[in-house]
Structure 1
Amino acid sequence: MTTAEFPFPPTSPDKAIEQMRRIRDDRPMTQVQYAHGGKVWAIHRHGAIRQMLEDRRFVRKPFATGEMEVPYPVQFPDFLKTTMQFADPPEHTRLRRLVAKAFTLRRVELLRGRTRAFAEDLLDAMERKGPPADLVQDYTLQVPIQVLSELLGVPAADRAKFTTWSQVMLSTNGLSEQELAEHGAALYTYLVELIAARRAEPADDLLSALAAAQEADDSLTDDEILPIAMLLLVAGFDNTANFATQGVLALLRNPDQLQVLLADIDGAAAKLPDEILRHGGFAVGRDVEGSAGLVPFVATEDVEIDGQLVRAGECVMADISTANHDEHVFEQPERFDITRSPNPHLTLSHGLHHCLGAPLARMEMQVIISSLFRRLPTLKLAGEEGYATDFLTGGLNRLPVTW
């Protein structure tokens, strides 16, 4: 079977929808061979992905230990391989249980007011400067890094250098290996010292809560807290900014949905994040794998999924874009519909690896987009969007707008 059609580079949203439907109807999965030689089963159907994510016979630890290489050309930073994303039960279960004690919905909701304040300050600056503006650099990228700094307890005086280090850690080129190592070491040292300071003098932030998280005689060590903080840089900073930007772009390209939002900003904003996450990269005619598809799994024994045999030792990944447009699950999946309910998309994964930061991502998107359109209801595009080619998480890095 040829694999040239997957992963597909759609030239338009219409072609992407047709291509995804044809692949999904033809087979539950495709074995993809990349140019460097790695092979992976890409699972296309919503139900088949859920089945795989619920099956304990699929694991990730071999990638963390170096026993296996990631089968497609994505270079993960070493710190990511020590996070929950690469762990399996019982280690994963223990870490997730302890982190969940600190990363609560209450803590996220307490951040909502500060998030709104960050958004309003940035919008004030945009209005003072006047149109046109780059929404990414002036707004959607800035809010999440401020929220993340607040969440972790990074002092205001350190936030400029913390932002620089964070962006460098996500960069895939443009700096020498020595420069990357220096910035990485600086961020590592800073977080180590900050964690130690929070153990000595706890504050009302996530690092303090992680340091205090305990169950029976079990607690998180500093060596375990550090990669959790580093993972937040990837999942809670650039990814959130990218999806918020995609949401704005989708609204501006779908005027009927923008009118639904403007008619009831607070009410519509409640459901908006999940439709952005479902529609995701497709909304801008791009193919993205989504967070559940970023890290593959390995079958520990022969497993049949939706009639397809996956043999022990073979790798599988979730084709999130295609599954999120499965017509057996989503009515009119090609339509960007901010009132869609229910919306069981898989962008934040499912089962054991469902994103713990989902409430934070939803809250930030709600605030970023509702604050923007409440302040600038006449917002419109002022040029072509741009996409990052030098960031681990990819996505939009330029969105010219006016009002």
Structure 2
Amino acid sequence: MDERTVHRFPFGPAVALELDPKYRKLQESERVARVRMPFGGDAWLVTGYEDTRFVLSDPRFSRAVTLEMDLPRLQPRIVQNPEMIMSMDPPDHTRVRQVAARAFTPRRVERLRPWIAGQVDGLLARMAGQGPPADLVRDLALPLPIAVICEILGVPFADREKFRVWSDIVMSVTAFTPEEIQAAFQSLTEYLQWLVKQRRVAPADDLFSAMVRARDTEAVMSERELVTFGVTLLVVGHETTVNEIADMMFVLLRDGGYAELARGGGPPVPRVVEELLRFVPLESPGGFARVATEDVVVGGTLIAKGEAVYTQLSAANRDPRVFADPDAIDFAAEREQHLTFGFGPHRCLGAALAKAEIELAVEGLLRAFPGLRLAVDPERVTWKLDRLVRGPEALPVTW
């Protein structure tokens, strides 16, 4: 390995939706930087767009190998499960993913849009009835994605609050102890084991019933893989969308974009959502590591076999080599090539669904509350700390 500066990572706390300026400095000076993680030693950090795409798609960078080593990481301990799809490489990853892929096709999402729109309208009607001020996190951004993923998986309505609490703990970095995180993961696992039994006795027209049938009749996946995949979908399938809706509404209300849209100006909402997906730094520092299974050169740097590599999608989405004036929001630009949903085999399975939820939430708000505005100064919005994804604790609004 060549001699170079080793940067302590993370560079600093994730403040609201600000992206640490050190990422830009590294893009300009070190396409692949050496970083010292709080636990497990040193790793590589890739911040550029093209290098990030390369690492995410090249089969020589493995997620499965991370289970076999003292991985450089942010937390003292992390949940490591070989049955978790995010820890698999092809062909196992492909085998498990294709079972659920049919539920997240663009055609299936389009069929869901009227139902999602109805959920949005119901939530906003309740918000209007309660009167201002309101909390967009509590009243819309949180309940909508939970309702959608529960509808797809067939989770009983009465159980939604339980899994919301568990998933919030699982998605933390240091906000909860390793023991609390492990206990929440175990509770989710036991819940999904119960749901499997329920679906065997009384199958329904939902994704989890289809997965149980695939498991029992086609032996596509093991029982543990089935349960773990259900846990992953429950957690990831709503947590990121919750925060995306809240983050985007904060930016639109803070910068005046919402008022322009309400006046009928600006581009269509889908274009607005795409640009905000690129601009908003959803992920906190860290993310999922990959390990080189052989020597690989990335951006002119040799990454040796067995070394860990981290990517930072938010930084890649601001790479000036790819995006003109990347730190500015440009709703007229066509920048759908952003990496917010990842790239390669592990690209987010629910990307089309997440975009539909966000678009329908924004469109519903524009119809119901054209005069919506923040009820507090932007600086007074409180933000979640020590989570894998960024988002406000609450987003007070009035109209």
- The interval holding the TM-score normalised by the smaller chain is 0.7 to 0.9
Matches within 5 A, 1:4-403: 4=7, 7-9=10-12, 16=19, 19-64=22-67, 67-74=68-75, 78=79, 81-170=82-171, 184-213=185-214, 218-256=219-257, 258-260=259-261, 262-263=263-264, 268-281=268-281, 288-289=284-285, 294-383=287-376, 384-389=380-385, 391-403=387-399
SS in 1 for 2:35: strand
SS in 2 for 1:281: coil
Q: Distance in 2 between matches of 1:172 and 1:45?
A: 24
Amino acid at match of 2:220: S
Q: Distance in 2 between matches of 1:329 and 1:74?
A: 32
Residue 56 of structure 1, CA deviation: 1.1
Amino acid at match of 1:229: G
SS in 1 for 2:397: strand
**Worse-matched range after superposition: 77-86 or 43-52:** 77-86
Amino acid at match of 1:48: D
Identical counterparts, % of pairs: 35
Distance 1:87 1:258, change over 3 A: farther
Unaligned runs of 5+ in 2: none
Provide the aligned length of Structure 1 versus Structure 2: 393
Q: Give deviations 1:58-77, integer Å, cap 9, x for gaps.
A: 1011223xx21331213676
Amino acid at match of 2:323: F
Indicate conservation of the 8 Å contact 1:102/1:213, yes or no: no
Indicate conservation of the 8 Å contact 2:150/2:160, yes or no: yes
Q: Distance in 1 between matches of 2:175 and 2:18?
A: 33
Q: Give deviations 1:138-180, integer Å, cap 9, x for gaps.
A: 2211111111111111223333434344444445677788876
Amino acid at match of 2:138: Q
Distance 1:187 1:313, change over 3 A: closer
TM-score by length of 2: 0.87
SS in 1 for 2:251: helix
SS in 2 for 1:127: helix
TM-score by length of 1: 0.86
Q: Distance in 1 between matches of 2:309 and 2:345?
A: 16
Unaligned runs of 5+ in 1: none
Q: Distance in 2 between matches of 1:169 and 1:10?
A: 20
Residue 12 of structure 1, CA deviation: 8.6
Indicate conservation of the 8 Å contact 1:299/1:314, yes or no: yes
CA RMSD, 1 decimal: 3.2
Amino acid at match of 2:44: W
Q: Distance in 2 between matches of 1:342 and 1:234?
A: 28
**Worse-matched range after superposition: 319-328 or 250-259:** 250-259
Distance 1:328 1:367, change over 3 A: same
Distance 1:253 1:153, change over 3 A: same
Q: Distance in 2 between matches of 1:202 and 1:11?
A: 44
